[in-house]
A and B are shown apart, each in its own frame.
Chain A
């Protein structure tokens, strides 16, 4: 039996649930399974997977979780400290009503688990679900389609502005037997609507599960979506995420992709700039240690004239960690008046760490301003010197500058609670020789006081 078949074998395990599902869901599931079997798990011979070996997934044995039990106290400790957030929580892929919070849901907004959307009115979801990030997107998207039954549906009526961040929380448990889940996230942002959606991956320290989430976002004319892919998954977790965004006229998509956890992480992010005035802003930060492997692939398709993209990814790699960045910008024929900027900067803290980066441009129109840059190197020695002249020892100076390196991306984050949380996480990950422990404690104290005073309000309101 092939690796692919052994995965698909898990499918009939939930036969009784299948009987109730609409025929189009069953058909899509079959199509997903067939496509996955045809594509197979990617190998290093595939250009898109040249630097990432997925055998830890393909050769793994994963069950499907059948309950969402999780201690509320422990969940609270893992949950993002955001005041007045709208929250859907999934435990190993299973929806937990108990750990979800939909109290702050304003009019014009739908936030519900996919299972509920399907049972309440499956036809309303059927038209859009899977239009993006389809079975041809990647073998993992096909696999997800074969399995998907749960996930999050987020819909914003035209003109709706949601102040509270919408959090989709994925909790990973330390199970006796590793499990897998294939959640699907659908975001439909109507014309001129505005929202912030946070996908948050977190869990129990000893967890070692496989999460394969597929998301799709449709931004209609003038819609503004800020999306966070905040990955604090347990260090044994295997995490694959795929997101395709379809952008209408004058829409703006801002992505923050922060990868701190997981043993093997692969993120695919595709932005389709389909109409004039559409903008995509992609920011990323990855920090990998030990033997972590983090692979970020982004693709921006300028399918229409007068579209703008900019991208800034930063990576810090320590120990024997490996980072991959592959950013591609494509300007289609006749897409004139394009501006596209892309940069990737990396810092290697250990001689055994490795970064493989490839910023690509593929351009078929002449009236464009495109640039990209990638740098890998050390901290600015002049800055180290400047700090030392202020009395800091060299290692502390380097630690501070490493923090500042990550800060250049995090400064863009508009949610205070997230920016501070990530900064603290980065400071905590820095090698001991950088000796920032005291500093981090001070920062933590300062933050605790700040949180009390401000009640965790958003930066810039």
Chain B
């Protein structure tokens, strides 16, 4: 589904990713862990197409398409959706408008017409209830004045409605108390299905107690230095990152 090959990325002249390769198959849940500054957030930002990241070599393909050749919104319309670590506030733009516009853009890209309003509202209300969010939330401006937990729940709500093929979650657990994390994790788990993959970037093992990954990768200094199953995460939790760093240096 997603194939990253020997990816080198520079930010303001310094190389952050130094030959990263990663293959994600449909139905899989991948977790990328690593110490601060390893380049974890850079990977999802590059896949999403954020400005300021220069790909110096390597390729990213998604379902056979060259991702680096696609506009930001084309990537999203193709099913590559990112859950932001710090969701941005957009004053005056209601949540409901953003959801409707995003869904319509995706449907238009697939050659489908707009979803009729009643059907759309039914869908939104159902997902809203699932995320234990109040309907008044739809009338509020995107992320404006939201608590950290509300912002993260909003990110997952958008995922549930936009149904991406590959959901990338960047530090989706940061700043969440345990109750909020359970709701967010439940939302993410409900996304799991045979034709959809999830890529999580996280610093802590804690999230993985609630969302069990199929594969865990350790990212150190711009490269994946070790991959394994969920037990690798547990090992990182008890032993820290140092041993992996040493092992990879050896």
Assess A/B contact in the complex (Cβ within 8 A): no
